[in-house]
Amino acid sequence: MTDDSPDLSFVVIGYNEGAHIRACLESVRAIRLPGARYEILYVDGGSQDNSLTEARSVPGVRVLGGDKRRRAAENRNLGAAHARGKYIQFIDGDMYLDPEWPALAMAFLDLRPDVAVVSGALEEANTSFFFRVLQIDWNPREGEVDTCGGAAMYRRDVFEKAGRFPEDVSTGEEPLLCWRIRNETAHKVWYLAKRMAKHDLGFRGLGDYWKRCTTTGRAYIEIASRCWNTSDPFWKPNVLRNFAWAGAYLILLATLIVAPLWLKIGLIGLIGLILIRLTIRTWRKGHSLPIAVGYAVHCYAAKIPLAWGQLKWFLLIQNPKSKIQNSPPPPSI
């Protein structure tokens, strides 16, 4: 870095975020970062709406991209290539940054040279019961974690050393980058239980829930296939568990159809006990009883679309006409 380089670079990415991008960029401009210099870059992924116009109207924002359709990893890497800060804070265009977060994250990274990535809590704009259940997965306990989402603050030198976001995966680029940071640069990934941003996920119903879960399942197996035979077989247990649960559900369904009444009652009771066990565990962590019940149902219901997403990727990669490029052979499962 040169003497006039900023301390922090904000890289905001978006695609058709015309309804949110101005508020997102204004939230970045409203941060409280006394004594530090920063820059704001917006990278557009080829929006067809008014995102570019909105972004260009916000003072102090350097706009990149917009010339063609790019995926999230490509957008973030393009922004990082133009960033000059010691740290890079990535944020998506449907998020609104907490004004205190950048100072907290920078101070933490300054104190912990062994940590290369730090993320914080995402607060959903939608406060319905459904989203309060999902937030349990999105906001883990404070401390060292294996991975983080798309919004996080990185040490730029470690980010570059780890090869930036991988662009040869269809999804799950953040977990794979975090795996490389942990295993190839010997740095840690950290979660701070401080609000980082508000997020507008935009779920419209169960169809969006199914789609998100299948995409997550695809990420599980695609990233696990990259790490399968390493000393850190990341997400391998998740992949195997999801397939195992899907198989168990099929057996359970067949049994409930043909089994005698006493066995059906016993199986239903067993299902109830499994749900009660997870409900109690979640409730003891400080969540309300209704949220704990909802989370237990979500955890086991999600196994079906997760396994379906994994299976779709596995079948797709076997197809010689598959559009997935540069992917290794699938693992032997």
Cβ within 8 Å of residue 1, ≥6 positions away: 84, 85, 86
pLDDT of residue 77: 97
DSSP 7: S
C-beta atoms surrounding 80 within 10 Å: 21
Residue 317 pLDDT > 90, yes or no?
no
Please provide the average confidence, as pLDDT, over all residues in the chain. Answer: 90
pLDDT tens profile 65-113:
989 999 999 999 999 999 999 999 999 999 999 999 999 999 999 999 9
pLDDT of residue 318: 66
Question: What are the sequence ranges of the domains in the chain?
Answer: 8-203, 224-318
**Rounded average pLDDT over 273-282:** 95
* Placement of tokens 């040490």 in the chain: 155
Task: Report the alpha-carbon distance of residue 21 to residue 48 in Å, rounded.
Answer: 14
Question: To 5 degrees, how large is the angle CA 58–CA 61–CA 66?
Answer: 95
pLDDT of residue 329: 40
pLDDT tens profile 11-69:
999 999 998 999 999 999 999 998 899 999 999 999 999 999 999 999 999 999 989 99
pLDDT tens profile 202-246:
667 788 889 999 999 999 999 999 999 999 999 999 999 999 999
**What is the pLDDT confidence band of residue 3, given thresholds at 50, 70 and 90?**
low
CATH number assigned to the domain covering 8-203:
3.90.550.10
pLDDT of residue 309: 95
